[in-house]
Amino acid sequence: MFIVLEGIDGCGKSTQIINLADFFFHQDKYNHIVVTREPYRRREIREILKTNEMPNEKKDQLVYLFVEDRKEHFKEVIIPSLNRGHIVLCDRYKYSTICYQSAQGFSLERLLDMHRFMPVPDLVFVFDVNVETALKRVSYDYSRKKESKFEQKNFLEVVRRNYLSLNELFPDENIILIDGNESERVVFEKIKKAIQKI
Ligand code: TMP
């Protein structure tokens, strides 16, 4: 099973991915779980995100890097793990490039084209939170330096709208929208219900 967690910065997905891993781990002694994330390992990406002044700068270079990084991630981690029968939980995937880089002004058509032949996850959770809440969470998290110039209100409003339209964009994919404004426990209950359904 390949499960993806998505949403704007501060939406709570990184907390929920650990809850989900814990849930699967204890559910069955034969479950083996791989928890992974994108961007995968291209250091240039995080450097650009830290130093780039405006969200709309360097979009072409970022798209190229994100897509190449994703191909490597697939080849090196996701496909081998799925082939071994492991459950793969991935923090961000193609939906991040589609929602963030189209908010940067990159052509949506081209982004969709670049991802046309990439494997479709079994399940995608999109955590929807209002941008004020998300930014508060990001700034309260003292363990975390401001890592991305994308953590700005106006920009994240556009990204959030893009996430909300993913179901229309991918009607054949299993994308579940979760209200992430509620407490960690309530959000996790909703995730478990969705998992049990499938
Ligand atoms: P993270 O905070 O979840 O590690 O993600 C790093 C930042 O990179 C975050 O602001 C979202 C952004 N991002 C994109 O813009 N496009 C992508 O394809 C990915 C994977 C992340």
Using N-to-C axis directions, what is the helix angle for 184-197 and 13-27, rounded to 10°? Answer: 50
Six token digits for residue 177? 């929208």
Q: Is 39 in the pocket of ligand 1 (CB under 6 A)?
A: yes
Exposed / middle / buried, residue 116 (Cβ in 10 Å: 0-12, 13-18, 19+): exposed
**CA of 28 relative to ligand 1 center, distance in Å:** 32
Q: Residue 147 CA: which ligand 1 atom is closest?
A: 2
Q: Is 69 in the pocket of ligand 1 (CB under 6 A)?
A: no
Half-sphere exposure of 80 (CA within 13 A, CB side): 7
pLDDT at 170: 97
Q: Judge whether residue 13 has pLDDT over 90.
A: yes
Where does the pLDDT of residue 147 fall: very low under 50, low under 70, confident under 90, or very high at 90 and above? low
Of 112-116, 142-146, 172-176, 186-190, where does mean pLDDT reach its minimum?
142-146
Residue predicted with more confidence, 2 or 198 = 2
Q: Judge whether residue 97 has pLDDT over 80.
A: yes
- Residue with the smallest CA separation from ligand 1 atom 21 is 96
Instruction: Tell me the domains of the chain and their CATH numbers.
Output: 2-197 (3.40.50.300)
The 10s digit of each residue's pLDDT in 166-186 is: 999 999 999 999 999 999 999
**CA of 87 relative to ligand 1 center, distance in Å:** 22
* Total-model pTM: 0.95
Contact in structure between 73 and 38 (CB atoms under 8 Å): yes
Q: Judge whether residue 144 has pLDDT over 70.
A: no
Give the integer Cα–Cα distance in Å for 80 and 61. 28
pLDDT at 143: 58
Question: In a mutational test of the pocket of ligand 1, which residue from 70, 92, 144, 149 has the highest number of ligand atoms less than 8 Å from its CB?
Answer: 92
Q: Is 5 in the pocket of ligand 1 (CB under 6 A)?
A: no
Closest Cα to residue 30, out of 85, 70, 95? 85
**CA of 8 relative to ligand 1 center, distance in Å:** 9
Q: Residue 93 CA: which ligand 1 atom is closest?
A: 20
The CA distances from residue 59 to 18, 104, 144, 150, 163, in Å, are: 31, 6, 24, 12, 18
Tokens 């961000």 correspond to: 92
Question: In a mutational test of the pocket of ligand 1, which residue from 70, 94, 96, 144 has the highest number of ligand atoms less than 8 Å from its CB?
Answer: 96
pLDDT at 51: 82
Give the integer Cα–Cα distance in Å for 55 and 148. 9
Q: Is 66 in the pocket of ligand 1 (CB under 6 A)?
A: yes
